[in-house]
Chain A
């Protein structure tokens, strides 16, 4: 951005005589080249930057994926994604594919791939997909989002307004399946906005259809997934405020996404820890309560502690506290640095999945001699469906405990946590079977 300051310093030195002259004169005058050491330097700086941008774009573009989710009841949800491995794993936003009964993927140039959902993180708006097909896919590498600094130049690849996957100019002419690249800078880091716990804020153009696309540094590394914008009046067009899910958060969830078998991964919290709204001048977030016997108490937290850092990052507000925790999956250990009576302590907290355990079957009275709870329907992509429970099954046992009513089923479910694995005994068409189900979270 140096050239901006140089321009500023010369603001009054150049006038525009051409603009006051007559047109005929103008035409001839306008060919006088306006070169000076100053402008020459500025142009060569821009040319060097242009060369770098073109190189990054050319290198990253082949790994870009256009994603279309065929929705129940017709219509498509469309967005962007990118390959992250030579065998065809693709990252996108969860909201691009949520509710889709099937997913179509097209790589740059338009080659079609059958696509399956590997894992979903609705709490972080990330989904991992897998393109089916042989051969080596071009792919992008995830970089270190912690190294991203405000002011850093970044690029976004995407399919805004479907300009690459539909021909918006002439209806009925084919699209060219070229992703669009926009350039801008990182405006801020560590922003908290709903499911965007620790977002990178950018000023580059991101619009509908950009969702799921990569945010790329000038080193060609992906540091985030663009997925959200601030907008007003329901216009839904770029305002210069966009948010990306940071790559370090995605990397922490990756091992869970890879084994989710199409299901969802869980976020966690420090169970039993109550913190204040924001820090005072002491520059630490006050711990205002620790539930007895809770995991927080077991980690060694005490009411009156000042929480200074979490996961190595300073904490000043409750939203930042939630934001940092939101970047870790349930089960991970987060290091907390607290100040207690002038002494600095390092505590380790294991994150516990929040919310209620989710099975995903809707009971219905079924006429049968077998005592149990009839399955009226199974929620799509739910733990029950992935475990193989089918409509018409009768649940007879839950972890060895007989189930005879919906109330009993609810009661045992209330004692389980998201992420727990349970064993269900079922009666299907007169035959008994046993299924293991890993409960989800809601």
Chain B
């Protein structure tokens, strides 16, 4: 058995993946678009927190809210200006646009801040004793806020009228439009929420890890694999996939070191071979 601290580490990694993955799955599920620049939103948010909190000295929670709202607005702008005009041209056109955007954002931040690693100081001092060792409040905060965000997202999608519109638009966009769903507005809100979740994760994890212009790649890769594992476009799938991934990566890392990535990759390949719709996805006809 790994020590208790390792399990808590796994919980944190799991929830950070969940936050990125659920936003990604949300956008994919409702809009049917792979948002490759999702990881860069995470990175930009971490840099906003670095600028405002570590450099300008604002209150951490204020910067967290500012960065989340900024990225949400950025997400809406990206959806309106870049994705909507090419959305009808299919998966490839929208992929090329968001990939290009992801490259451009990373380049822009590198030009602005330079490629070096930056450290964000810990916000919440103090530790919670767990067994023989301690867990910092900063790490617990990640878990708590992630759980709150997930519950909030669940109720938003399943219990509100806007959530109903979203589910309708994701099933059949033209028919939903005929029934009075304003799909354009729905997509903007979906994009805002999805990007905001990535931004929240980036802002929360900036003090836990370090910040540099390439940190957006890894959360994106892990989130993508978690989505494949859980089922493409399914919210529950993204959550469960993210949790499995977070736990498996840390626990396996404890036993086999960096080779854990191979085991995870093999599991994803096996899932693709045996159950391509993922653990929670619906099966559909494919060519």
Tell whether A and B belong to one assembly.
no
Question: Which B positions have Cβ atoms within 8 angstroms of A?
Answer: none
Question: Which A positions have Cβ atoms within 8 angstroms of B?
Answer: none
